[in-house]
Amino acid sequence: MSIDLYYTAGSAPCRLVLLVAAALNLELNLKPLDLRAGEQLTPEFLQLNPQHTVPTIVDDGFSLWESRAISRYLVNKYGGAALYPEDPKARALVDQRLDFDLGTLYPRFATYFYPQVFGGAPADEALLKKLEEALKFLDTFFEGQKYAAGSELTLADLSLVATVSTIDAAGISIESYQNVNKWFELVKSTAPKYDEANGQGVEMFRAFVAQLKAKTEL
């Protein structure tokens, strides 16, 4: 039985789930939701996820949301020890990177960028500096390491690459972060089905941002 994934392709958290499924060679029954049309607020979807967020999966009647929780579940149920190692220290490092993405990097990007494209707000230099600080932290994490949490591709890389590719697509330069750039190119070339799972959605996000910016500049 395939796993239902309720998602929107441009969303970084949704693309994380697609990347994990690709790495595990899992079949997903894709169910796109138009958030602007309110499809996440239907009674049927609210029964699955009362928070009405994407991504949401349904696996043999079991519904789950929050992208990193979904990612851990898929690895724990369907295998993939390399993505989420069992050694306590190795797993803790993966968890730290995941938590950094969830609690620091992505929120700082969202707080800085989304008010500009969704609300027409001017760029806030103080918020940009906070995002740049987070990118500097990330650049430091990669010193002496091939991937985000060691020598192998893990959930940490898949989560972070969904965010970093989104930051890049938003037109925020990452060129000055040499370690981040090197890692970014590596993950793009080594994550299974990267273009299908993440690259296509990134381009959709890029086009969506361009459309919103054009409207706010009228």
Predicted model pTM: 0.95
Residue ranges per domain, the chain?
A: 3-78, 88-216
What digits encode the pLDDT tens for the residues 124-152?
Answer: 999 999 999 999 999 999 999 999 999 99
Omega of the bond leading into 88 within 30 degrees of 0 (cis) = no
Q: What is the percent of the chain where pLDDT is above 90?
A: 89
What digits encode the pLDDT tens for the residues 162-203?
Answer: 999 999 999 999 999 999 999 999 999 999 999 999 999 999
Length of the chain (residues) = 218
**Catalytic, out of 11, 71, 159, 165:** 11
Q: What CATH fold (topology level) applies to the domain 3-78?
A: Glutaredoxin (3.40.30)
Average pLDDT in the chain = 95
pLDDT band at 119 (very low <50, low <70, confident <90, very high): confident
Q: CATH classification of 88-216, choosing from 1.10.10.10, 3.30.70.100, 1.20.1050.10, 1.10.260.40?
A: 1.20.1050.10
Question: Does residue 11 have an active-site annotation?
Answer: yes
CB < 8 Å & 24+ apart, contacts of 72-78: 72/155, 74/3, 74/17, 74/20, 74/21, 74/24, 74/26, 75/20, 75/24, 75/155, 78/24, 78/26
Q: How buried is residue 9: exposed, middle or buried, by Cβ count under 10 Å (0-12/13-18/19+)?
A: middle
pLDDT of residue 180: 98
